Amino acid sequence: MDKQEAKKRIEELTHELHRHNHSYYVLDNPQISDYDFDQLLKELEKLEQQYPEFASPDSPTQRVGGQVTKKFASVKHKYPMMSLGNTYSRDELEEFDARIRKLVNEPFSYVCELKYDGIAIGLTYKNGRLVQALTRGDGVTGDDVTHNVRTIRSIPLVLPSEDIPAEFEARGEIIMPHKSFIELNKIKEQNNEALFANPRNAASGSLKLQDSALVSKRNLDCFMYGLLGESLPFQSHYENLQQAKAWGFKVSSLTRLCENINQVMEYIEEIAQERLNLPYDIDGIVVKVNQYSVQEELGFTSKAPRWAISYKFKAEQGITILEDVTYQVGRTGAVTPVAKLSPVLVAGTTVKRASLYNADKMEELDLHYGDTVFVEKGGEIIPKIVMVDIAQRPSDAKKIEYATHCPRCQTPLERKEGEALYFCPNSDHCPPQIQGKIEHFISRRAMNIEGLGEGRIEVLINNKLIEKASDLYGLTYDQLLGLTKTIEEEETGKKKKISFQQKTVNNILTAIENSKSVPFERVLFALGIRHLGETGAKKIARELKSIDNIVNSTFEELTEIPEIGERIAGSIKDFFNNHENLEVLQSLKDAGLNFEIEVPDETMAGDRPLEGKTIVVSGVFEKYSRNELKELIEKKGGQNTSSLSSKTSYLLAGENMGPEKRKKAEKLNIPVISEADFESLIQQ
């Protein structure tokens, strides 16, 4: 076989194997036997070895893996992966429907989808080829798991269609079917390895394996449930899903278009009866508004879209014995009671502990030692006690009284007016609070100091090397090298050794040094001020510009900042009125951390023509993507919002904008500007 013949045969085999992959893993309709498929794959592998110059990066041979990833890169999502609000009742779904109908005037329908119990994934395609796969992560950034995802045979590596956008993102869920899960645990049991508790954990663990060849053996699957992009073929979610199916994606045949909320209810009842017969786990139904124009008009909250909601099926319950109640102390001093239970299997997981939330909940349950209790997973995740079987209570059972002192430092507990929890006020010297604050400080969304997880902060505290976050910046190589500690995992009882080897120590010290370049808003969040989250820290940092301005600001000045209420403002004032916090702050300043916003020269020159302006962006644009326009608005001093109100300054309108949005703008006398108008504004 000469080179041209080899090239032609490689192309033929590649096309044929892609087609058979799709038939087997997506359509569930195999056209040839497994043996014949393997023979074709071996022929292709042999030819690619002989003529590597003709091997395609999208070759079916890539499905077997072989790439080793030591560290998964963190990448920012082009479109944030937001969470969904949850509901458990028909009444709440009807309220969701009523809210939408109150806000929009145009007709709309719903799309109902299975809520898979797996790992969310975003797949980016350029010119029909898979170029990147990102996990959800924190919703803003995710891990790049492209090499591992390429081994999942139900995910197309290349799309044969010609009518696809130049670039788009497909959103879906990676799952492990029951059959694959059972087979995997059998192998782990034979090898005397710890078993996976459920298919979701197995899917998550498999997706983060360093060797993609191992991932390919885990038989993961993937269902797609959405498309994102600037040039999608249709203006509705359901039509685009059907188009994705035609392009080669695996889209569930159980996805349903519903004309009203009553049809949604009927669909939920239907799936509730069938879900236990499915070959994979689901924990509910996702309900979405179908029309993109209505989605745009409804917009988003800070955490979730207003046009979608998740209906969760009632959690499975287990019955067991309450043995004891212990108490956990968080970084803010909040004390949470935890029930210690006789082990019980609930929804595929062995449960030994359950949250009791607070003293009021304990009093409501009237818990006694030895009670027979009903346990379920709240939202299928966190175990909780929902009921006590009083009839089974021993006659001599002793009532469980809530703790009066901190279980770790023995300081008397306090309960502030209006608060559900008790708190340990010994914030500067209580061991779990010290550890929790430092762990928050080093976390990924704060200072992002890698290498100090997995119990290493506890080791440093126990060795009296650190007492507060600022102590991290005084650590030396000689202090860290050789530190060790053996810990026992509470759930499994397995012992694990933590050690500070040469490479680990170097990585930790490098990460600490690199953290000095973290921007001010994240440093502010890292301080761990109670009630102050990422969004609030970003708003305050951008408004007041420096830590000194924040420290010297009044309560009233803080509450004037958008979305900063009295509770957050009060926490900030309390935090900086504590002299020990001010000492830590000064030490962090001395270490060289960023405590002010870096103002670019163009801002100093007054290049903020949109200062004080609020703009809503809607539609498709010729020169910019919507994300690029939103970044420009912020850069030029303006603010983005997702929905129109009387405070909106402009509606920036592109092609295919919903007519209702324009009507609403006209009703509110909001100027509607074009892309050219916008460019004129920012060039003033």
DSSP state of 340: E
Percent of the chain at pLDDT > 90 equals 51
Handedness of CA 443, 445, 449, 453 (dihedral sign): positive
Strand order in the sheet with 650-653: 639-640, 614-618, 650-653, 672-673
With 70 as the cut, is the pLDDT of residue 79 above it? Answer: yes
The tokens for 28 are 């569930």
Q: Which residues contact 663 (CB under 8 A, 6 or more apart)?
A: 105
* Helix orientation angle between 566-576 and 579-591, rounded to the nearest 10 degrees: 80
With 50 as the cut, is the pLDDT of residue 88 above it? Answer: yes
Q: Where residue 605 falls among pLDDT bands split at 50, 70, 90?
A: very low
Of the listed ranges 71-80, 241-250, 375-384, 479-488, the one predicted with least confidence: 375-384
Give the C-alpha separation, 263 to 347, whole Å.
28
The tokens for 550 are 């924040």
Give the pLDDT score at 140: 87
Secondary structure of 492-534 in HEC code, one letter for each residue: CCCEEEEECCHHHHHHHHHHHHHHHHCCHHHHHHHCCCCCCCH
- Average of per-residue pLDDT across 470-499: 83
* Residue 121 backbone dihedrals phi, psi, to 5 degrees: -140, 145
Query: What Cα–Cα distance (Å) separates residue 97 from each residue in 136, 288, 295, 659, 664?
Result: 27, 11, 13, 21, 20
276-323 residue pLDDT tens: 788 998 989 999 999 999 999 999 887 789 999 999 887 678 899 999
The tokens for 55 are 């091997």
Contact indicator for 350, 399 with CB cutoff of 8 Å: no
Residue with tokens 């130049």, as numbered in its chain: 166
With 60 as the cut, is the pLDDT of residue 600 above it? Answer: no
Total number of residues shown for the chain: 684
Beta pairing, strands 614-618 & 650-653: parallel
Contact indicator for 175, 199 with CB cutoff of 8 Å: yes
Its CATH class, for the domain covering 606-682, is alpha beta
* Residue 499 backbone dihedrals phi, psi, to 5 degrees: -140, 150
CA dihedral 74, 76, 78, 80 (to 10 degrees): 100
110-157 residue pLDDT tens: 999 999 999 999 999 999 999 999 999 888 899 999 999 999 999 999
Beta-bridge partners for 673: 652
Give the C-alpha separation, 484 to 498, whole Å.
5
Residue type, 362: M
Q: Which residues contact 20 (CB under 8 A, 6 or more apart)?
A: 30, 31, 32, 37, 40
Give the C-alpha separation, 595 to 475, whole Å.
21
128: left (phi over 0), alpha (psi -120 to 50) or beta: left
Query: What Cα–Cα distance (Å) separates residue 182 from each residue in 176, 213, 347?
Result: 10, 20, 15
- Average of per-residue pLDDT across 336-347: 89
With 80 as the cut, is the pLDDT of residue 161 above it? Answer: no
Q: Where residue 486 falls among pLDDT bands split at 50, 70, 90?
A: confident
Give the C-alpha separation, 575 to 21, whole Å.
59
Give the C-alpha separation, 23 to 626, whole Å.
37
Active-site choice (3, 71, 115, 647): 115
535-590 residue pLDDT tens: 789 889 988 999 999 999 999 999 888 778 898 999 999 999 999 999 999 999 99
Q: Which helix (H) or strand (E) holds 337?
A: strand 334-346
Contact indicator for 380, 315 with CB cutoff of 8 Å: yes
Beta-bridge partners for 317: 376
Are both 431-517 and 520-598 of the same fold?
yes
Beta pairing, strands 672-673 & 650-653: parallel
With 60 as the cut, is the pLDDT of residue 65 above it? Answer: no
With 80 as the cut, is the pLDDT of residue 197 above it? Answer: no
Name the CA radius of gyration of the chain, rounded: 28
Give the pLDDT score at 41: 82
Give the C-alpha separation, 166 to 575, whole Å.
51
Of the listed ranges 361-365, 414-418, 609-613, the one predicted with least confidence: 414-418
For the segment(s) 74-312, the CATH number from 3.50.50.60, 3.30.470.30, 3.40.50.150, 1.20.1250.20 is 3.30.470.30
Its CATH class, for the domain covering 520-598, is mainly alpha
Fold of 3-64: Helix Hairpins (1.10.287)
Give the C-alpha separation, 400 to 364, whole Å.
12
* Residue 162 backbone dihedrals phi, psi, to 5 degrees: -100, -15
Q: Which residues contact 510 (CB under 8 A, 6 or more apart)?
A: none
Give the C-alpha separation, 636 to 613, whole Å.
10
- Average of per-residue pLDDT across 352-379: 87
Query: What Cα–Cα distance (Å) separates residue 180 from each residue in 29, 172, 177, 213, 218?
Result: 19, 19, 5, 16, 7
Candidates 633, 631, 632; CA nearest to 615 is 633
With 70 as the cut, is the pLDDT of residue 238 above it? Answer: yes
Three-class SS of residue 121? strand
Contact indicator for 15, 39 with CB cutoff of 8 Å: no
Q: Where residue 401 falls among pLDDT bands split at 50, 70, 90?
A: very high
Beta-bridge partners for 257: 111
Give the C-alpha separation, 455 to 148, whole Å.
28
179 is catalytic: no
198-228 residue pLDDT tens: 788 889 989 988 888 889 889 999 999 999 9
Fold of 431-517: DNA polymerase; domain 1 (1.10.150)
For the segment(s) 317-422, the CATH number from 2.40.50.140, 1.10.1740.10, 3.40.50.300, 3.30.465.10 is 2.40.50.140
CA triplet 203, 284, 195: central angle to 5 degrees? 30
Q: For the chain, what are the domain ranges?
A: 3-64, 74-312, 317-422, 431-517, 520-598, 606-682
Give Cα 587 to chain centroid, integer Å: 33
